Structure 1
Amino acid sequence: MTISFSIKGRQESRRPNVILINVDDLGWKDLGFMGSDYYETPYLDQFSKEGMVFTNAYAGASNCAPSRATMISGMYGPRHGVYTVSPSDRGDDRTRRIVPTKNEDTLADSLYTLGEMFHDSGYATATIGKWHLSDDPTKMGFDLNVAGNHRGNPGRNGYFSPYGVSNLTSGPEGEYLTDRLTDEAIDFVKEHKGGPFFLYLPFYTVHSPLMGKQELINKYKAKPASNGQAHPVYAAMVEAMDQNVGRLLKVLEQLELEEHTMVIFTSDNGGIRKTSRQDPLRAGKGSYYEGGIRVPMVIRYPGKIPAMEKVDDPVLQMDLFPTLQGVIQASVQGNTLDGMDIGPLLFEGKSLPKRELYWHFPIYLEAYSPKDDQARDPLFRTRPGSVVRYGKWKLHEYFEDGSLELYNLEEDLGEHYNVADKYPEVAADLLERLKTWRKSTNAPVPTERNPAFDQDFEAMKIKQVMQ
């Protein structure tokens, strides 16, 4: 049966298939089209020319599980309680000044997910790869689950078969996990080529353990470093991911599904700075400076979304839920969605209205590499606080001592110069907006002092790690 639907008033003969590719820990500048001179990503570079590139795209959180929870539910963290990869009291107890909010490590079954929205709209649905939000995504709207569970990485030997990932049978010895997941994705697309289908493809790569194909590792060992990007194994993982995205896109072309398929490419959070720098962005995964939350994002839908277009409007991955809901004309139900339908931007070329973007992290996340992280202090990538971006301004508030950091992102994208004292009226306005938002979402603000905190130990520890 031919189904008629509309995108912003234009009648289409069939509802689009949707593929959402979510790469794990891929940094904002870890792709050729985003400015890297080191990584080679020819397939994604070409893909970027065929779609709309978002230069100010943000994850809903700075590490894996909470970012995925916001995107899959369409809701800010305080509404689902997933703030980090458990527990919330990471790092040495003697260096934490307050008791953090308890973290939820599972997305509640009661929440209406992106998968359920597609499933209830008559789509065949699949998640192939890293799920990280529950034990069983088939209870959250997905007909098919390959390799998805609560696990956040594929394990010590996980990128080469035999695998240690549940819900995935091992292939031939030495088979590469990213290749295998793409094989499974291609099989799903071929099986459901009559559509409509929703494929969520969250690769485990480029998350640790860093493991690449030897021929690609050798290639990058012979290549000069560039702007803080010099890790040959990580580079091999990036290129293998690019090759596999290319394989999937080629199948869409062969099946004549390109014009009937909306493909979204993004990453769940910023990259790890010690592994791959994102300059000029500050810090990386786990931080709420730009390097931890700004991510690559491209959306391609031939004939519907303009090609070769860059958009500077700030967008959140939470915007995908209401946007896709509008694209497939799904019935509105379930959660209060915090994202914005960016359909007018995609299909009509309209700028988005100015709005606040929020992040809330009432938790602790210990340092990866104190000398490399570029965090606020060398012991933690994140201490409890909240962040708001509004236009060119970005305000950080920290709950331990009430301190504020204000940055003008137009003039200081690297967040090096705190101008809260120079522009007190801007800081006060953003702080009030932050407080109002926290009240509206019932966001918990931890205030209880940690009895185990030892200021002398903290000072000693900072001195020790920075030697």
Structure 2
Amino acid sequence: MKLFKITILIIVVLAYSLTSFSQKPNIIFILTDDQGWNDLSVRSNKDLAGSKSDYHETPNTDKLALSGMRFSDAYAPFCVCSPSRHSIQFGISSTSLNNTDNFAYGEKRSNPTFSLVATIKKIDPSYKTGAYGKWNLPYYSNPGVLGYDDWHTGSPVDPHKKPPEQEGKKMKDGTIINDDPKHINRLTTAAINFMTEQVSNNTPFFCYIAHWAPHYPNVTTQAMYDKYDSKTKGSYHSHVGRAAMMENLDDGIGRVLDMVQDLGIEDNTYIIFTSDNGSGVRGWIDKYAQQANWGDPAPLFGGKATLYQGGLRVPFIISGPGIEPNSWNSAQIIGYDIFPTICDILGGIDKAPGVVEGASLKEHCLNGSSAELQRNEEIDGFPFVFNEPDDLDIWEKSAFVKGDYKILLQHEYNPDRYHLFNTKEDISEETNLISVMPDKFSFLLRQWYNHVVDKKVTLPANALNEALTYLSNHYERDISRKVEAEDYRNGYGIVAEINEETKDGFVANINAKDYMDFELDVEQAGYYDVSFRVSSANSEIGFDIKKGSTIVGSINETATGNLQTWKSTEKIGIVLEKGSQVLRLEGTGGTWNLDWMEFEEADISIVNVKELKKKNYENMIHIYPNPAVETSTTLWFDNEIINQTFNINIHNIQGKLMFSKTIRNEQMKLNVDSYMPGVYFVSITNNEFSITKKLLINFVQ
């Protein structure tokens, strides 16, 4: 009889387990706004007492942390809201997206078919997806553009539009009193309704809850404000309004956790929690001194909009089936790891687009491994790269994190521009190690340079030149290799003049706008000095040295007086990556000849020179006026190329073809009176080239 009972029990438990794990997992992703690394009342690092608040109370988020795994070395994709959110939705770094400005569109759009929710639906079309709360992706007007089935901003006016600024009684510290602070209740209710509907329909779901809290300004209820006004202040957290809003936010999170229990889906639901950037505190900067009582991310330094750890480090929690409760993981992770992690949980990591740069955390969560994650990046041991735009009025502009080390580059304003920190031993970033570890800094600076040039990142004009100057003074160079003109004569597809008796040759009559593309095969990445042997009878000698669209050096020399009178140019320092790449010489002035170029380091060979004297068509085609302010604009071609045949196509921001025509010998008028305001892309192609220009339409019909 006892054997029978035990057998029945085993069968029942086994049947329940098989049923639970055979169900398709649900994913709930909670993203908070400006919530710092130590804003919770539970630690973000088990070994550091300062990694939790000494004033805020977040019992529900604490409960989530105790039910799952906390990552103690987690970074946000960026130090401000919009670029970070863009990065998360596509699994790509803000640097690769060239989207590092909170108030602009960035320079690289992402294809909506590569978005997180589009990929979820490729993995399993039965999934329903919902987005609730703050969107803040200027390129994409609403979550539906990226494929979300349902969304609500929390607005009481229109669920599909940004909510208005909240109003109410103002307290002595500027806090606003409102019954639904930061729309927490409204957007939480919308998310709960979505979850309930999917469970009732037996449909798996992905629910993205993006809170507006605890972003400034502080908004809370009267009862919560009174609670913290009478509570003893902490040593580094003491702002009544912010603390009260933090607990309002936590209440909203608690409602979601309770609903997961009420719906009975806790055994097949994963919950991911993090913040879009570090603490919303900038009081250490004089400009924001009036906000200094927001809080203190100590022991981290800095806060939102800075590239110190206080602006980048965030709390990060994952809870769900198979994850050990109250567990810790010290692996270095970043917000765009969420994309591949979700794909992996759903069993479709192979469906993640090839451009995704993040790494899946699934095995780390299930097995407890803290091993270094392998990300989709050529640089060994993928670094985290952060670059700020010119218009953020903050000193530091670039940061490069690789393992325990971080370099911080201040391109302007501050004479002490370069920093090297060991963030494991010096989490507060107090000790600059450049003087004691110069080789380490040079190594990381060289990798940063390679990365931003490869990604064509927008940086202050002097940033790359400063880096090259530093490397030229601190990085050891090797033996030289000279590349003679005959190495790239007609057999390599370019025009060259060769003396048949001596086999000596040179490239002749290079003019402004002419260019040569050299395909280099570099066996060892490094810093290289390159110089050129040139001549010119009676005109100046001018050309730029370019990697991609980035100018890495310029040559300007006076005439030599005779075509056979040669001289060597000044040395230009450039950084070359390992492997195949293209170096371009593009004429900027005069008519001149090239005999050779010389690299002052070995292990370089010229594979091919693609072409010579191909004009720069980009500067010969214009759209005017742009932005269009009337019902039409003109596509204008310079006289030098107007007699060619061109194929013209116009696409909107979603990729829809709006117009197509083939033209020749005409300046083309584009009628755009039926187009909605926004960004459009005009592609011009023929048998020699293909370029795309951006057209802005901002008039109202």
TM-score (normalised: structure 1): 0.79
Amino acid at match of 2:389: I
Cα shift readout 1:400-439 (whole Å, capped 9, x = no counterpart): 4893200111221111111111110111121122123224
Secondary structure at 2:219 match in 1: coil
Map of 2:400 onto structure 1: 388
- Number of aligned pairs? 397
Map of 1:363 onto structure 2: 389
Unpaired segments ≥5 residues, structure 2: 1-19, 44-51, 170-177, 282-291, 374-380, 464-701
Secondary structure at 1:201 match in 2: strand
Map of 1:291 onto structure 2: 310
Taking the aligned partners of 2:236 and 2:113, their CA distance within structure 1 comes to: 41
Map of 2:144 onto structure 1: 138
Displacement after TM superposition at 1:158 (Å): 6.3
Displacement after TM superposition at 1:151 (Å): 11
Map of 1:438 onto structure 2: 452
Are 1:104 and 2:106 matched, yes or no? yes
* Residues 67 and 325, structure 2, Cα contact 8 Å, conserved in 1: yes
Taking the aligned partners of 2:208 and 2:306, their CA distance within structure 1 comes to: 26
Amino acid at match of 2:351: V
Unpaired segments ≥5 residues, structure 1: 1-10, 88-102, 161-172, 367-379, 450-467
Map of 2:211 onto structure 1: 203
Map of 1:164 onto structure 2: none
Are 1:53 and 2:70 matched, yes or no? yes
Displacement after TM superposition at 1:444 (Å): 3.4
Taking the aligned partners of 2:445 and 2:270, their CA distance within structure 1 comes to: 38
Deviates more, 1:77-86 or 1:126-135: 77-86
Displacement after TM superposition at 1:137 (Å): 1.2
Map of 2:85 onto structure 1: 68
Query: Max radius of gyration: which structure?
Result: 2
- Of 338, 349, 353 in structure 1, the residue corresponding to residue 368 of structure 2 is 349
Taking the aligned partners of 2:461 and 2:394, their CA distance within structure 1 comes to: 20
Q: What are the residue-to-residue correspondences of 1:26-425 with 2, within 5 Å?
A: 26-34=35-43, 35-87=52-104, 104=106, 108-110=110-112, 112-120=114-122, 121-122=124-125, 123-133=127-137, 134-147=140-153, 154-157=163-166, 174-176=179-181, 177-193=183-199, 194-273=202-281, 274=292, 275-302=294-321, 304-330=322-348, 331-334=350-353, 336-353=355-372, 355-364=381-390, 366=392, 380-384=393-397, 386-400=398-412, 403-425=417-439
Map of 2:621 onto structure 1: none
Displacement after TM superposition at 1:255 (Å): 1.1
Taking the aligned partners of 2:84 and 2:235, their CA distance within structure 1 comes to: 27
Taking the aligned partners of 1:235 and 1:106, their CA distance within structure 2 comes to: 37
Shift in alpha-carbon separation, 1:425–1:265, aligned structure 2, 3 A: same
Secondary structure at 2:42 match in 1: helix
Cα shift readout 1:270-298 (whole Å, capped 9, x = no counterpart): 11223121100001000010000100010
Amino acid at match of 2:132: I
Amino acid at match of 1:78: T
Taking the aligned partners of 1:418 and 1:333, their CA distance within structure 2 comes to: 39
* Residues 94 and 100, structure 2, Cα contact 8 Å, conserved in 1: yes
Displacement after TM superposition at 1:440 (Å): 3.8
Amino acid at match of 1:235: A
* Residues 72 and 114, structure 1, Cα contact 8 Å, conserved in 2: yes
Shift in alpha-carbon separation, 1:340–1:334, aligned structure 2, 3 A: closer
Amino acid at match of 2:384: Y
- Of 27, 44, 50 in structure 2, the residue corresponding to residue 18 of structure 1 is 27
Displacement after TM superposition at 1:106 (Å): 8.9
Cα shift readout 1:302-354 (whole Å, capped 9, x = no counterpart): 3x111111112110011111111111123525451111122221122222326
Displacement after TM superposition at 1:182 (Å): 0.8
Displacement after TM superposition at 1:130 (Å): 0.3
Secondary structure at 1:185 match in 2: helix
* Residues 387 and 459, structure 2, Cα contact 8 Å, conserved in 1: no
RMSD: 2.6
Displacement after TM superposition at 1:362 (Å): 4.2
Shift in alpha-carbon separation, 1:438–1:402, aligned structure 2, 3 A: farther
Map of 1:428 onto structure 2: 442
Secondary structure at 1:314 match in 2: strand
Taking the aligned partners of 2:168 and 2:204, their CA distance within structure 1 comes to: 31
Amino acid at match of 1:132: N
Amino acid at match of 2:338: L
Shift in alpha-carbon separation, 1:41–1:181, aligned structure 2, 3 A: same
Deviates more, 1:275-284 or 1:333-342: 333-342
* Residues 53 and 310, structure 1, Cα contact 8 Å, conserved in 2: yes
Taking the aligned partners of 2:148 and 2:161, their CA distance within structure 1 comes to: 19
Taking the aligned partners of 1:329 and 1:320, their CA distance within structure 2 comes to: 14
Taking the aligned partners of 2:25 and 2:168, their CA distance within structure 1 comes to: 32
* Residues 119 and 142, structure 1, Cα contact 8 Å, conserved in 2: no
* Residues 279 and 414, structure 1, Cα contact 8 Å, conserved in 2: yes
Secondary structure at 1:230 match in 2: coil
Secondary structure at 2:129 match in 1: strand
Secondary structure at 2:95 match in 1: helix
Taking the aligned partners of 1:310 and 1:209, their CA distance within structure 2 comes to: 33
Taking the aligned partners of 2:108 and 2:168, their CA distance within structure 1 comes to: 25
Shift in alpha-carbon separation, 1:158–1:74, aligned structure 2, 3 A: farther
* Residues 78 and 277, structure 2, Cα contact 8 Å, conserved in 1: yes
| More strand by percentage | 2
Taking the aligned partners of 2:316 and 2:261, their CA distance within structure 1 comes to: 21
Taking the aligned partners of 2:403 and 2:77, their CA distance within structure 1 comes to: 17
Equivalent pairs: percent with the same residue? 28
Shift in alpha-carbon separation, 1:215–1:191, aligned structure 2, 3 A: same
Amino acid at match of 2:35: L
The higher-RCO structure (CA 8 Å, 6+ apart) is 1
Displacement after TM superposition at 1:155 (Å): 4.2
